[in-house]
Each structure stands twice: as C-alpha cells, then as structure tokens.
Amino acid sequence: MPQNLLEQLRRYTTVVADTGDINSMEQFRPTDATTNPSLITTAAQMPQYQPIVDGVIMDAKRELGENASDKDVANLAFQGLAVAFGKKILAIVPGRVSTEVDARLSYDTEATIAQARSIIAQYDKAKVGREHVLIKIASTWEGIRAAEVLEKEGIHCNLTLLFGIHQAVAAAEAGATLVSPFVGRILDWYKKDTGKDYQGAADPGVQSVTRIYNYYKKFGYKTQVMGASFRNIGEIEELAGCDLLTISPHLLGELEKTEGDLPRKLDPEKAKSMQFERILVDKAAFKKMHAEDRMATDKLKEGIEGFSAALVNLEQMLAKRLAELESRAPATV
C-alpha cells in the first residue's frame, strides 16, 4: 500500500508542529512542537483557549499585586502564557516544546539568560523535565553567548532566526542543542532581491540548510538542525533526512494527502566524506561575516522586529483582557 509523504518523512526526520493550536497537534501527532509570539497570539484569541488565557492573566495579577499596572501584568503574563501552552502541548507530544525568550532582549546576553532561567523555573515548578523544553533564542552573537551559559546549566536551547553559516557555526561551537535555519524566509529574500523564482534543490533556503547539516555532520557537532519556515512541500522534500523539520499544520496536511516516493536527501554518513573548510568564528569574525551577508543581516533584523511587534500585540491583547476581567469582577462577588 503506498504511503503518503508525511509517513515517509517520519522515517528519516523528526516531525515538529509549527503551531500553538492544540487541535492541530492532536490531528498530526508530531514528536515535538514549536511556538513563537505570533503563534501564541493567534491561539490565545481562539475561544477554546480563553480559560487558559484568563487563568494566566489572573495569576500574573496576583503575583504582582493589586497596584500593578495592566501593562506590567500583561508583560509577566506573556511568559506564563507561553509556559501554559507549552504544558498543554506536552500533554500531546512525546518530545519537546520550544518556548521563546522575549525577542526584545535579543542583543542583551544577561537579560536573555535571566528570562530563560525564569521560564525554565516555571516548567520546573510544574514538574516538567528539562529534557522536554527548549528555550528559543535569536541567533545574535549575544543570544548565542547566552545559550552557551544556559547549556552548561542543563537548560537546552533552540537558536532561532538563523540565516547564515556564521550563526550556525557559532551556535554549534557554543554547544546549542538545536538550531532553526529559516528556509522560507531565505527564499523570500532571494526572490525579492533577484526577481527570480527557485524550485527544488536550487532553492537558496534549501541550500543553506543542506550546507549547515552537512557541515555539522562532517565535523561531528552534536547540535541538531531543524529546518523551519517552509513555503511549500517541495522544500520539505528536498530536506528529507534533516534531523528535524518544523512544519505548519497547512503543509502537514498537504504532505499527508500526497502520495509518491520520498527519497532521503540528507544523510550523515554521506556528509562525513564531503570536503569542507573549517570555519573559525570568534566575535570579530561573526560580526564581519554577518555584515557581509546582506540576506542574513536583513532577515535577522526583520525577524527580531517581527517577533517583538507580535509580543507588543500580545501584551496589548492581554492588558485589554485583564481590564475586561476586572470590570466584571464586582458583578461576580
């Protein structure tokens, strides 16, 4: 009996759901799941998750006290909400959930470390083992340094918004558990910059992840590669064999409905025989390589700004919801 592409992909690659929607996870049963502020905001607006949102808001209010501003409560509540969804997700997926540090801290190593510790403390309190949690941090030099400290403390990190080989090498040297190169966003940049379309193995995002994967396997890095941000299932097919792929529910559905042969494209044994020049990345080299890579410079900046804006929107939504809850409180007494 012919197998669909999703079933075949699972033979070579750990499938991760790129969503905050619990229903989608129950449908596709991924091994792991990732979230970000945009996904959490979308999920938080769904009626079925309103009790979770309301509970987190009121917990934050109680923690900060009656005199706390709605803005401060909302700021604390976003962390609690990410963890609340994380716990809900881990009731479905057997592996790990990625929970993101505030993107506005992306260039502040110490603040990133502090918030990561705060997030993991909430999971610890909920008796969620650290092997089930990845802390998502933007792949800035400062973020990578934060991950280096956290990994030594047994806090596993997913370095996200990764677009260039310099970021990938620095992350692996820092001992990061996982990196998330953004396939579709790389494709978007090249299409806009060149006016060309790219298919299959010619896709620049596919080429970037392939290079990172082969480099890691060639030199024996333990850091795993998780391709992310896909625009079509063709990109996913070209990366069959990657350690992990995080895929939206829409594309998971498309893979499930599509039959055909899915050969393995990325293979650790083949990578070991490939010729690669070792790349040394200290701070000066990282900054130089980043400045010379227009695509990585543009997309990292855009990604941090986008996640930061999504967080502002989420906090505004939470503050508005807090005001609604407080306005109703006297009537329920």
The DSSP secondary-structure symbol of 174 reads T
Exposure letters 157-195 (e unless 16+ CB within 10 A, then b): bbbbbbbbbbbbbbbbbbbbbbbbbbbbbbbbbbeeeee
- What is the domain partition of the chain in residue ranges? 30-228+266-324
The pLDDT score that the predictor gives to residue 330 is 61
The pLDDT score that the predictor gives to residue 72 is 86
The pLDDT score that the predictor gives to residue 1 is 61
Residue 81 and residue 44: Cα distance in Å, rounded?
A: 9
**Residue tagged active-site, from 61, 87, 136, 299:** 136
Q: Is 222 an annotated catalytic residue? A: no
Per-residue pLDDT of the chain in tens (333 residues, 90 and over written 9): 669 999 999 999 999 999 888 889 999 999 999 888 888 888 888 899 999 999 999 999 999 998 888 888 888 898 899 999 999 999 999 999 999 999 999 999 999 999 999 999 999 999 999 999 999 999 999 999 999 999 999 999 999 999 999 999 999 999 999 999 999 999 999 999 999 999 999 999 999 999 999 999 999 999 999 999 999 999 999 999 999 999 999 999 999 999 999 999 999 999 999 999 999 999 999 999 999 999 999 999 999 999 999 999 989 999 998 989 888 866 443
* CATH code 3.20.20.70 for 30-228+266-324: yes
Helix axes 294-332, 50-64, angle to 10 degrees: 80
Query: The pTM is what?
Result: 0.93
CA atoms within 13 A on the CB side of 205: 33
